[in-house]
A and B are shown apart, each in its own frame.
Chain A
Protein backbone atom coordinates (compact mmCIF):
# COMPACT_ATOMS: atom_id res chain seq x y z
CA UNK A 1 0.00 0.00 0.00
CA UNK A 2 1.48 3.35 -0.99
CA UNK A 3 1.53 5.87 1.79
CA UNK A 4 -0.22 9.22 1.57
CA UNK A 5 2.41 11.93 2.02
CA UNK A 6 1.73 14.26 4.89
CA UNK A 7 0.31 17.58 3.70
CA UNK A 8 1.64 20.97 4.82
CA UNK A 9 -1.13 23.34 5.90
CA UNK A 10 -1.03 26.82 4.39
CA UNK A 11 -1.00 30.07 6.40
CA UNK A 12 0.28 28.65 9.67
CA UNK A 13 0.64 31.23 12.46
CA UNK A 14 4.17 32.61 12.79
CA UNK A 15 6.25 31.15 15.67
CA UNK A 16 6.11 33.44 18.67
CA UNK A 17 9.88 33.96 19.12
CA UNK A 18 12.37 33.02 21.82
CA UNK A 19 10.95 33.12 25.33
CA UNK A 20 7.64 34.60 24.21
CA UNK A 21 4.51 33.13 25.73
CA UNK A 22 1.23 34.21 27.27
CA UNK A 23 1.69 31.78 30.14
CA UNK A 24 1.17 33.51 33.47
CA UNK A 25 2.71 30.85 35.72
CA UNK A 26 6.41 30.60 36.65
CA UNK A 27 7.23 28.51 33.56
CA UNK A 28 10.91 29.49 33.74
CA UNK A 29 11.42 27.99 37.21
CA UNK A 30 11.43 24.30 36.24
CA UNK A 31 14.11 24.59 33.51
CA UNK A 32 16.25 26.71 35.84
CA UNK A 33 16.02 24.13 38.64
CA UNK A 34 16.90 21.35 36.17
CA UNK A 35 19.79 23.42 34.79
CA UNK A 36 21.21 24.09 38.26
CA UNK A 37 20.63 20.51 39.46
CA UNK A 38 22.23 18.79 36.49
CA UNK A 39 25.08 21.31 36.22
CA UNK A 40 25.92 20.91 39.90
CA UNK A 41 26.00 17.14 39.54
CA UNK A 42 28.14 17.20 36.39
CA UNK A 43 30.65 19.62 37.96
CA UNK A 44 30.87 17.66 41.23
CA UNK A 45 31.07 14.22 39.62
CA UNK A 46 33.75 15.39 37.17
CA UNK A 47 35.78 16.83 40.03
CA UNK A 48 35.33 13.68 42.11
CA UNK A 49 36.20 11.42 39.18
CA UNK A 50 39.52 13.19 38.58
CA UNK A 51 40.58 13.03 42.23
CA UNK A 52 41.68 9.39 41.96
CA UNK A 53 42.01 9.06 45.76
CA UNK A 54 39.94 9.05 48.97
CA UNK A 55 37.27 6.93 47.34
CA UNK A 56 37.60 4.06 49.80
CA UNK A 57 37.09 4.22 53.56
CA UNK A 58 38.41 1.47 55.79
CA UNK A 59 38.52 3.33 59.13
CA UNK A 60 37.24 1.31 62.09
CA UNK A 61 37.33 -1.85 59.98
CA UNK A 62 34.73 -0.51 57.56
CA UNK A 63 34.74 -1.19 53.84
CA UNK A 64 32.96 1.65 52.03
CA UNK A 65 33.63 2.21 48.36
CA UNK A 66 32.37 5.30 46.52
CA UNK A 67 29.85 4.39 43.77
CA UNK A 68 31.75 6.71 41.38
CA UNK A 69 34.68 4.28 41.59
CA UNK A 70 32.91 0.95 41.69
CA UNK A 71 34.08 -1.47 40.42
CA UNK A 72 37.76 -0.59 40.90
CA UNK A 73 39.34 -2.19 37.84
CA UNK A 74 42.78 -0.62 38.35
CA UNK A 75 43.53 1.49 41.40
CA UNK A 76 45.46 2.06 44.57
CA UNK A 77 42.57 1.90 47.06
CA UNK A 78 39.77 -0.53 47.75
CA UNK A 79 40.03 -3.96 46.21
CA UNK A 80 41.13 -3.43 42.59
CA UNK A 81 40.46 -6.30 40.21
CA UNK A 82 43.80 -6.03 38.42
CA UNK A 83 46.11 -4.11 40.76
CA UNK A 84 47.32 -0.54 40.45
CA UNK A 85 47.56 1.86 37.54
CA UNK A 86 48.44 -0.09 34.37
CA UNK A 87 52.01 0.25 33.08
CA UNK A 88 50.82 1.15 29.58
CA UNK A 89 48.81 4.12 30.81
CA UNK A 90 50.28 7.23 29.08
CA UNK A 91 52.12 9.52 31.51
CA UNK A 92 50.50 12.64 30.08
CA UNK A 93 46.98 11.28 30.68
CA UNK A 94 45.59 11.81 34.19
CA UNK A 95 44.64 8.50 35.77
CA UNK A 96 41.69 7.79 37.98
CA UNK A 97 39.84 4.48 38.42
CA UNK A 98 36.56 6.39 38.03
CA UNK A 99 37.41 7.38 34.45
CA UNK A 100 37.44 3.71 33.45
CA UNK A 101 33.86 3.08 34.54
CA UNK A 102 31.90 6.34 34.82
CA UNK A 103 31.15 6.44 31.09
CA UNK A 104 28.62 3.64 31.61
CA UNK A 105 26.29 5.15 34.25
CA UNK A 106 26.94 8.58 32.69
CA UNK A 107 25.87 7.31 29.28
CA UNK A 108 22.84 5.61 30.80
CA UNK A 109 21.66 8.87 32.32
CA UNK A 110 22.58 11.00 29.31
CA UNK A 111 20.49 8.85 26.96
CA UNK A 112 17.64 8.28 29.45
CA UNK A 113 14.23 9.29 28.08
CA UNK A 114 13.43 11.37 31.15
CA UNK A 115 16.74 13.23 31.20
CA UNK A 116 16.60 13.81 27.45
CA UNK A 117 13.32 15.70 27.77
CA UNK A 118 14.64 17.56 30.81
CA UNK A 119 17.96 18.73 29.37
CA UNK A 120 16.57 19.53 25.93
CA UNK A 121 14.44 22.07 27.77
CA UNK A 122 16.93 23.31 30.35
CA UNK A 123 20.13 23.39 28.28
CA UNK A 124 18.97 23.67 24.69
CA UNK A 125 15.67 25.57 25.01
CA UNK A 126 14.13 23.02 22.68
CA UNK A 127 11.62 24.25 23.93
CA UNK A 128 12.38 26.12 27.17
CA UNK A 129 9.02 24.96 28.44
CA UNK A 130 5.66 23.95 26.97
CA UNK A 131 4.14 26.61 24.69
CA UNK A 132 7.12 28.93 25.12
CA UNK A 133 8.84 30.25 21.98
CA UNK A 134 12.19 28.82 20.85
CA UNK A 135 15.46 30.49 19.84
CA UNK A 136 16.03 28.46 16.65
CA UNK A 137 13.95 27.92 13.54
CA UNK A 138 15.97 24.87 12.42
CA UNK A 139 15.09 21.57 14.10
CA UNK A 140 16.16 18.01 13.38
CA UNK A 141 15.17 16.31 16.62
CA UNK A 142 16.48 12.78 17.14
CA UNK A 143 16.22 11.98 13.45
CA UNK A 144 19.82 12.56 12.49
CA UNK A 145 23.30 12.85 13.97
CA UNK A 146 24.20 13.53 16.70
CA UNK A 147 20.93 12.96 18.57
CA UNK A 148 20.03 9.80 16.67
CA UNK A 149 22.75 8.21 18.84
CA UNK A 150 20.33 8.47 21.78
CA UNK A 151 18.91 5.20 20.45
CA UNK A 152 21.88 3.42 22.04
CA UNK A 153 20.13 3.82 25.40
CA UNK A 154 19.21 0.14 25.80
CA UNK A 155 22.86 -0.91 25.58
CA UNK A 156 23.75 1.45 28.43
CA UNK A 157 20.77 -0.01 30.30
CA UNK A 158 22.20 -3.52 30.02
CA UNK A 159 25.46 -2.30 31.59
CA UNK A 160 23.59 -0.27 34.23
CA UNK A 161 21.77 -3.42 35.38
CA UNK A 162 25.18 -5.09 35.92
CA UNK A 163 26.30 -2.06 37.92
CA UNK A 164 23.31 -2.47 40.25
CA UNK A 165 24.61 -5.95 41.10
CA UNK A 166 28.10 -4.58 41.75
CA UNK A 167 26.80 -1.73 43.92
CA UNK A 168 24.58 -4.16 45.84
CA UNK A 169 27.71 -6.24 46.54
CA UNK A 170 29.48 -3.06 47.72
CA UNK A 171 26.59 -2.36 50.10
CA UNK A 172 26.88 -5.97 51.36
CA UNK A 173 30.62 -5.51 51.95
CA UNK A 174 29.74 -2.31 53.84
CA UNK A 175 27.92 -4.47 56.36
CA UNK A 176 31.11 -6.27 57.42
CA UNK A 177 33.63 -4.69 59.74
CA UNK A 178 37.09 -6.07 60.45
CA UNK A 179 38.30 -6.08 64.05
CA UNK A 180 41.93 -5.66 65.14
CA UNK A 181 42.62 -9.38 64.70
CA UNK A 182 41.37 -9.32 61.13
CA UNK A 183 38.10 -11.16 61.82
CA UNK A 184 35.03 -9.77 60.07
CA UNK A 185 31.83 -9.07 62.01
CA UNK A 186 28.43 -8.09 60.74
CA UNK A 187 27.55 -4.51 61.60
CA UNK A 188 25.76 -1.40 60.50
CA UNK A 189 27.36 2.00 60.27
CA UNK A 190 25.92 5.22 58.89
CA UNK A 191 27.97 4.51 55.78
CA UNK A 192 26.28 1.11 55.43
CA UNK A 193 22.90 2.84 55.37
CA UNK A 194 24.16 5.46 52.91
CA UNK A 195 25.49 2.76 50.54
CA UNK A 196 22.31 0.68 50.90
CA UNK A 197 19.96 3.58 50.17
CA UNK A 198 22.15 4.37 47.17
CA UNK A 199 21.68 0.94 45.64
CA UNK A 200 17.94 0.97 46.35
CA UNK A 201 17.47 4.35 44.65
CA UNK A 202 19.70 3.45 41.72
CA UNK A 203 17.82 0.17 41.39
CA UNK A 204 14.49 2.02 41.41
CA UNK A 205 15.79 4.26 38.65
CA UNK A 206 17.43 1.53 36.54
CA UNK A 207 14.62 -1.01 36.82
CA UNK A 208 12.04 1.65 35.87
CA UNK A 209 13.83 2.38 32.59
CA UNK A 210 11.59 2.83 29.53
CA UNK A 211 13.87 0.67 27.35
CA UNK A 212 13.80 -2.14 29.93
CA UNK A 213 10.01 -1.84 30.09
CA UNK A 214 9.82 -2.37 26.35
CA UNK A 215 12.33 -5.21 26.18
CA UNK A 216 10.98 -7.10 29.16
CA UNK A 217 7.35 -7.10 28.06
CA UNK A 218 6.19 -4.05 26.15
CA UNK A 219 7.26 -5.54 22.82
CA UNK A 220 4.71 -8.37 23.12
CA UNK A 221 1.25 -7.74 21.72
CA UNK A 222 -0.18 -10.60 23.76
CA UNK A 223 1.64 -10.30 27.03
CA UNK A 224 -0.69 -12.69 28.86
CA UNK A 225 0.86 -15.51 26.83
CA UNK A 226 4.25 -14.78 28.46
CA UNK A 227 3.61 -15.08 32.20
CA UNK A 228 7.12 -14.27 33.46
CA UNK A 229 7.44 -11.30 31.10
CA UNK A 230 4.02 -10.06 32.18
CA UNK A 231 4.98 -10.08 35.85
CA UNK A 232 8.27 -8.35 35.11
CA UNK A 233 6.52 -5.81 32.85
CA UNK A 234 4.11 -4.94 35.64
CA UNK A 235 6.97 -4.42 38.11
CA UNK A 236 8.96 -2.27 35.68
CA UNK A 237 5.82 -0.28 34.76
CA UNK A 238 5.20 0.37 38.44
CA UNK A 239 8.69 1.83 38.87
CA UNK A 240 8.45 3.58 35.50
CA UNK A 241 5.56 5.71 36.78
CA UNK A 242 8.00 7.21 39.31
CA UNK A 243 10.94 7.36 36.88
CA UNK A 244 11.47 11.11 37.23
CA UNK A 245 11.39 10.89 41.03
CA UNK A 246 13.91 8.02 41.07
CA UNK A 247 16.05 9.82 38.47
CA UNK A 248 16.47 12.82 40.75
CA UNK A 249 16.66 11.02 44.07
CA UNK A 250 19.26 8.55 42.81
CA UNK A 251 21.26 11.35 41.18
CA UNK A 252 21.41 13.35 44.40
CA UNK A 253 22.07 10.31 46.57
CA UNK A 254 24.85 8.85 44.44
CA UNK A 255 26.64 12.21 44.65
CA UNK A 256 26.06 12.33 48.40
CA UNK A 257 27.35 8.76 48.80
CA UNK A 258 30.61 9.70 47.10
CA UNK A 259 30.83 12.79 49.28
CA UNK A 260 30.18 10.74 52.43
CA UNK A 261 32.90 8.20 51.65
CA UNK A 262 35.29 10.98 50.61
CA UNK A 263 34.75 13.02 53.77
CA UNK A 264 35.07 9.92 55.99
CA UNK A 265 38.21 8.90 54.11
CA UNK A 266 39.81 12.33 54.58
CA UNK A 267 38.84 12.39 58.25
CA UNK A 268 36.44 15.33 57.99
CA UNK A 269 33.46 13.20 58.98
CA UNK A 270 33.35 10.30 61.43
CA UNK A 271 31.44 7.19 60.43
CA UNK A 272 29.18 6.28 63.36
CA UNK A 273 28.69 2.59 64.06
CA UNK A 274 25.10 1.79 64.99
CA UNK A 275 25.96 -1.78 66.01
Chain B
Protein backbone atom coordinates (compact mmCIF):
# COMPACT_ATOMS: atom_id res chain seq x y z
CA UNK B 1 0.00 0.00 0.00
CA UNK B 2 1.26 3.47 -0.91
CA UNK B 3 0.00 6.97 -0.33
CA UNK B 4 -0.70 8.83 -3.56
CA UNK B 5 -1.84 12.41 -4.03
CA UNK B 6 -4.58 13.25 -6.52
CA UNK B 7 -5.51 16.73 -7.70
CA UNK B 8 -9.18 16.44 -8.61
CA UNK B 9 -11.21 19.19 -10.24
CA UNK B 10 -14.09 20.30 -8.03
CA UNK B 11 -16.73 22.75 -9.13
CA UNK B 12 -19.80 23.44 -11.21
CA UNK B 13 -20.34 25.38 -14.44
CA UNK B 14 -17.46 27.72 -15.12
CA UNK B 15 -16.36 27.88 -11.48
CA UNK B 16 -14.03 25.39 -9.90
CA UNK B 17 -10.49 24.53 -8.88
CA UNK B 18 -8.26 21.56 -8.18
CA UNK B 19 -8.53 20.06 -4.71
CA UNK B 20 -5.83 17.83 -3.28
CA UNK B 21 -6.66 14.38 -1.88
CA UNK B 22 -4.28 11.75 -0.60
CA UNK B 23 -5.35 8.13 -0.49
CA UNK B 24 -3.89 4.67 -0.22
CA UNK B 25 -3.52 2.72 -3.41
CA UNK B 26 -2.61 -0.90 -4.05
CA UNK B 27 -1.43 -3.03 -6.95
CA UNK B 28 -3.85 -3.41 -9.83
CA UNK B 29 -5.88 -0.30 -9.07
CA UNK B 30 -7.09 2.01 -11.82
CA UNK B 31 -7.75 5.74 -11.51
CA UNK B 32 -11.48 5.16 -11.11
CA UNK B 33 -10.79 2.91 -8.09
CA UNK B 34 -8.78 5.69 -6.47
CA UNK B 35 -11.49 8.25 -7.22
CA UNK B 36 -14.04 5.91 -5.60
CA UNK B 37 -11.78 5.54 -2.54
CA UNK B 38 -11.63 9.31 -2.24
CA UNK B 39 -15.39 9.55 -2.73
CA UNK B 40 -16.01 6.99 0.03
CA UNK B 41 -13.46 8.28 2.53
CA UNK B 42 -13.11 12.02 1.99
CA UNK B 43 -15.52 13.52 -0.54
CA UNK B 44 -18.95 11.88 -0.64
CA UNK B 45 -20.27 14.73 -2.77
CA UNK B 46 -17.64 14.19 -5.50
CA UNK B 47 -19.42 13.91 -8.86
CA UNK B 48 -18.14 11.13 -11.11
CA UNK B 49 -19.97 9.25 -13.87
CA UNK B 50 -19.17 5.58 -14.29
CA UNK B 51 -20.86 2.33 -15.13
CA UNK B 52 -19.16 -0.81 -16.47
CA UNK B 53 -15.59 -0.45 -15.15
CA UNK B 54 -14.53 -2.48 -18.19
CA UNK B 55 -13.84 0.15 -20.84
CA UNK B 56 -16.99 -0.61 -22.76
CA UNK B 57 -19.63 1.89 -21.64
CA UNK B 58 -17.61 5.08 -22.22
CA UNK B 59 -19.02 6.78 -19.12
CA UNK B 60 -15.90 7.55 -17.08
CA UNK B 61 -14.13 9.76 -19.64
CA UNK B 62 -11.90 12.36 -18.02
CA UNK B 63 -8.48 13.94 -18.37
CA UNK B 64 -5.75 12.23 -16.42
CA UNK B 65 -2.49 14.14 -16.21
CA UNK B 66 -3.83 16.32 -19.02
CA UNK B 67 -4.64 13.54 -21.50
CA UNK B 68 -8.19 12.37 -22.27
CA UNK B 69 -8.57 8.82 -20.97
CA UNK B 70 -11.08 6.40 -19.49
CA UNK B 71 -10.59 6.38 -15.71
CA UNK B 72 -11.48 2.70 -15.53
CA UNK B 73 -8.81 1.73 -18.06
CA UNK B 74 -5.94 3.81 -16.71
CA UNK B 75 -3.85 1.74 -14.36
CA UNK B 76 -2.11 3.63 -11.59
CA UNK B 77 1.02 1.63 -12.40
CA UNK B 78 1.13 3.44 -15.77
CA UNK B 79 1.39 6.84 -14.05
CA UNK B 80 4.21 8.57 -12.18
CA UNK B 81 2.87 8.33 -8.64
CA UNK B 82 5.77 10.32 -7.16
CA UNK B 83 3.98 13.44 -8.39
CA UNK B 84 0.31 14.33 -7.80
CA UNK B 85 -2.02 12.81 -10.40
CA UNK B 86 -4.41 15.35 -11.90
CA UNK B 87 -7.94 14.23 -12.72
CA UNK B 88 -10.23 16.75 -14.40
CA UNK B 89 -13.36 16.72 -16.54
CA UNK B 90 -13.40 16.80 -20.35
CA UNK B 91 -12.93 20.32 -21.67
CA UNK B 92 -14.91 20.22 -24.90
CA UNK B 93 -18.28 19.99 -23.13
CA UNK B 94 -20.11 22.02 -20.47
CA UNK B 95 -19.29 21.01 -16.90
CA UNK B 96 -22.15 19.68 -14.81
CA UNK B 97 -20.26 18.97 -11.61
CA UNK B 98 -16.72 17.94 -10.68
CA UNK B 99 -15.78 15.21 -13.19
CA UNK B 100 -19.19 15.03 -14.88
CA UNK B 101 -19.74 16.83 -18.18
CA UNK B 102 -22.87 17.28 -20.27
CA UNK B 103 -22.17 15.29 -23.45
CA UNK B 104 -25.70 15.60 -24.84
CA UNK B 105 -24.43 17.81 -27.69
CA UNK B 106 -22.91 14.69 -29.23
CA UNK B 107 -26.28 13.00 -29.51
CA UNK B 108 -27.76 16.08 -31.16
CA UNK B 109 -24.83 16.21 -33.57
CA UNK B 110 -25.36 12.54 -34.35
CA UNK B 111 -28.97 13.27 -35.31
CA UNK B 112 -27.69 15.64 -37.99
CA UNK B 113 -26.10 12.75 -39.93
CA UNK B 114 -28.34 11.26 -42.59
CA UNK B 115 -29.31 7.76 -41.44
CA UNK B 116 -28.46 4.46 -43.09
CA UNK B 117 -30.39 3.99 -46.33
CA UNK B 118 -30.06 0.52 -47.85
CA UNK B 119 -30.50 -0.16 -51.56
CA UNK B 120 -33.48 -2.18 -52.78
CA UNK B 121 -33.36 -5.79 -51.52
CA UNK B 122 -31.32 -8.14 -53.70
CA UNK B 123 -33.68 -11.09 -53.35
CA UNK B 124 -37.47 -11.37 -53.70
CA UNK B 125 -37.74 -12.31 -50.02
CA UNK B 126 -36.52 -8.83 -49.09
CA UNK B 127 -32.98 -9.80 -48.12
CA UNK B 128 -29.61 -8.53 -49.31
CA UNK B 129 -26.39 -10.19 -50.42
CA UNK B 130 -23.03 -8.72 -49.52
CA UNK B 131 -19.47 -9.91 -49.01
CA UNK B 132 -18.16 -10.14 -45.46
CA UNK B 133 -14.93 -8.45 -46.56
CA UNK B 134 -16.87 -5.41 -47.78
CA UNK B 135 -18.70 -5.02 -44.47
CA UNK B 136 -15.55 -5.48 -42.42
CA UNK B 137 -14.21 -2.12 -43.49
CA UNK B 138 -17.11 -0.36 -41.81
CA UNK B 139 -17.16 -2.67 -38.83
CA UNK B 140 -14.05 -1.11 -37.35
CA UNK B 141 -16.15 1.97 -36.68
CA UNK B 142 -18.81 -0.05 -34.88
CA UNK B 143 -16.33 -0.52 -32.03
CA UNK B 144 -16.98 3.09 -30.96
CA UNK B 145 -18.19 3.14 -27.33
CA UNK B 146 -19.17 6.83 -27.46
CA UNK B 147 -16.78 7.86 -24.73
CA UNK B 148 -16.24 11.13 -26.67
CA UNK B 149 -12.56 11.30 -25.74
CA UNK B 150 -11.82 11.98 -29.42
CA UNK B 151 -14.27 14.88 -29.38
CA UNK B 152 -12.62 16.17 -26.21
CA UNK B 153 -9.08 16.11 -27.58
CA UNK B 154 -10.06 17.64 -30.95
CA UNK B 155 -8.80 21.21 -30.83
CA UNK B 156 -11.58 22.39 -33.16
CA UNK B 157 -14.10 21.68 -30.39
CA UNK B 158 -11.87 21.98 -27.35
CA UNK B 159 -10.05 25.23 -28.13
CA UNK B 160 -12.12 26.83 -30.88
CA UNK B 161 -15.64 25.84 -29.79
CA UNK B 162 -16.81 25.26 -33.35
CA UNK B 163 -19.57 22.93 -32.16
CA UNK B 164 -22.15 24.60 -34.39
CA UNK B 165 -19.99 24.13 -37.51
CA UNK B 166 -18.13 20.86 -36.97
CA UNK B 167 -19.47 17.50 -35.80
CA UNK B 168 -16.12 16.20 -34.57
CA UNK B 169 -14.19 12.95 -35.10
CA UNK B 170 -16.65 10.65 -33.29
CA UNK B 171 -19.47 11.73 -35.59
CA UNK B 172 -17.25 11.51 -38.66
CA UNK B 173 -16.65 7.90 -37.63
CA UNK B 174 -20.44 7.40 -37.58
CA UNK B 175 -20.73 8.98 -41.02
CA UNK B 176 -17.87 6.80 -42.33
CA UNK B 177 -19.59 3.67 -40.97
CA UNK B 178 -22.65 4.52 -43.08
CA UNK B 179 -20.75 5.79 -46.11
CA UNK B 180 -18.56 2.68 -46.36
CA UNK B 181 -21.36 0.20 -45.80
CA UNK B 182 -21.83 -1.87 -48.99
CA UNK B 183 -25.63 -1.58 -48.88
CA UNK B 184 -25.89 2.14 -48.18
CA UNK B 185 -26.98 4.39 -51.05
CA UNK B 186 -27.32 7.72 -49.23
CA UNK B 187 -24.99 10.57 -50.21
CA UNK B 188 -23.70 12.39 -47.14
CA UNK B 189 -20.73 14.04 -48.84
CA UNK B 190 -22.34 17.47 -49.48
CA UNK B 191 -23.48 17.57 -45.84
CA UNK B 192 -20.04 16.58 -44.62
CA UNK B 193 -18.54 19.50 -46.50
CA UNK B 194 -21.18 22.15 -45.98
CA UNK B 195 -23.00 21.33 -42.75
CA UNK B 196 -20.66 19.10 -40.78
CA UNK B 197 -17.44 21.00 -41.41
CA UNK B 198 -15.08 18.16 -42.33
CA UNK B 199 -12.69 20.81 -43.65
CA UNK B 200 -12.09 21.96 -40.08
CA UNK B 201 -10.16 18.74 -39.38
CA UNK B 202 -6.47 19.42 -39.85
CA UNK B 203 -5.36 15.82 -39.36
CA UNK B 204 -3.51 16.15 -36.06
CA UNK B 205 -4.40 12.50 -35.33
CA UNK B 206 -5.04 13.32 -31.66
CA UNK B 207 -8.42 11.58 -31.94
CA UNK B 208 -6.74 8.36 -33.06
CA UNK B 209 -4.20 8.65 -30.27
CA UNK B 210 -6.78 8.80 -27.46
CA UNK B 211 -9.33 6.27 -28.78
CA UNK B 212 -9.60 3.49 -26.16
CA UNK B 213 -10.96 1.13 -28.82
CA UNK B 214 -7.94 1.82 -31.07
CA UNK B 215 -10.11 2.85 -34.01
CA UNK B 216 -7.87 4.34 -36.71
CA UNK B 217 -10.11 7.39 -36.84
CA UNK B 218 -7.97 9.70 -38.96
CA UNK B 219 -6.56 7.27 -41.52
CA UNK B 220 -9.56 4.99 -41.97
CA UNK B 221 -12.52 7.32 -41.40
CA UNK B 222 -11.73 11.04 -41.72
CA UNK B 223 -9.19 11.02 -44.56
CA UNK B 224 -11.32 8.71 -46.77
CA UNK B 225 -14.27 11.06 -46.17
CA UNK B 226 -12.08 14.06 -47.00
CA UNK B 227 -11.05 12.32 -50.21
CA UNK B 228 -14.71 11.67 -51.05
CA UNK B 229 -15.31 15.41 -50.60
CA UNK B 230 -12.40 16.04 -53.00
CA UNK B 231 -14.02 13.63 -55.50
CA UNK B 232 -17.25 15.59 -55.43
CA UNK B 233 -16.10 19.19 -55.01
CA UNK B 234 -12.42 19.74 -55.77
CA UNK B 235 -11.41 17.30 -58.49
CA UNK B 236 -12.55 18.37 -61.97
CA UNK B 237 -10.98 15.30 -63.63
CA UNK B 238 -12.97 12.87 -61.47
CA UNK B 239 -16.12 14.89 -62.18
CA UNK B 240 -15.48 14.75 -65.92
CA UNK B 241 -14.77 11.03 -65.72
CA UNK B 242 -18.06 10.47 -63.90
CA UNK B 243 -20.00 12.50 -66.45
CA UNK B 244 -18.59 10.46 -69.34
CA UNK B 245 -19.13 7.21 -67.45
CA UNK B 246 -22.77 8.03 -66.73
CA UNK B 247 -23.38 8.89 -70.44
CA UNK B 248 -22.18 5.45 -71.57
Residues of A within 8 A of B159 (CB): 15-16, 127, 133-134, 139
Complexed CA–CA distance, A215 and B234 (Å): 14
Given A5-B164, A9-B163, A22-B88 contact (CB < 8 Å): yes
- For window 168-207 of chain B, which residues contact chain A by CB distance below 8 Å? 180-182, 184, 191, 195-197, 199-206
Residues of B within 8 A of A24 (CB): 65-66, 80, 83
A262 contacts the other chain (Cβ, under 8 Å)?
Answer: no
Smallest Cβ-Cβ distance to B201: which chain A residue: A141
CB distance from B185 to the nearest CB of A (A): 9
Q: Do residues B83 and A9 form an inter-chain contact, with CB atoms below 8 A? A: no
Which residues from chain A contact B235 at a C-beta distance below 8 Å? Answer: 151, 154
List chain B residues, Cβ under 8 A from A147: 202
Residues of B within 8 A of A139 (CB): 155-156, 159-160, 162, 200
Q: Are A211's CB and B93's CB within 8 A? A: no
Residues of B within 8 A of A221 (CB): 134, 180-182, 184
Given the known interface contacts A6-B164, A141-B200, A143-B199, the answer about A1 and B114 at a Cβ–Cβ threshold of 8 Å is yes
Bound Cα distance from A218 to B204, whole angstroms: 21
Choice from A6, A148, A151 contacting B112 with Cβ under 8 Å: A6
Which residues of the partner chain B approach A274 to less than 8 Å between Cβ atoms?
none
Q: Are A210 and B219 in contact (CB-based, < 8 A)? A: yes
Does B210 lie at the interface of the complex (its beta carbon under 8 Å from any beta carbon of A)?
Answer: yes
B108 within 8 A of A: yes
Please give the distance in Å from B229's CB to the nearest CB on chain A. 8
Question: Does B105 lie at the interface of the complex (its beta carbon under 8 Å from any beta carbon of A)?
Answer: yes
Main secondary structure of the interface of A (DSSP, over half): loop
B28 interface contact, C-beta 8 A = no
Check: A10 CB closer than 8 A to any chain B CB.
Answer: yes
Q: Is A35 an interface residue (CB 8 A)?
A: no
Given contacts A4-B112, A8-B163, contact A131 B184 (CB under 8 A): no
Contact B219 A6 (CB under 8 A): no
Docked pose: A218 CA to B88 CA in angstroms = 39
B191, B202, B210, B218 — most chain A CB neighbours (10 Å) = B202
A interface footprint on B124-143 (CB within 8 Å = 1, 0 otherwise) = 00000011011001000000
Tell me, rounded to whole Å, the shortest Cβ–Cβ distance linking B96 to chain A: 10
In the complex the two chains form, is A23's CB within 8 Å of B93's CB? no
A135 to chain B, nearest CB (A): 10
Do A214 and B224 have beta carbons less than 8 Å apart? yes
Contact B230 A154 (CB under 8 A): yes
Across chains A and B, which 7 residue pairs bring their CB atoms closest together, nearest first? A22-B66, A23-B66, A130-B206, A143-B199, A214-B227, A141-B200, A117-B203
Known: A6-B195, A24-B65. 4 other contacts (CB 8 A): A14-B14, A116-B203, A141-B156, A224-B134
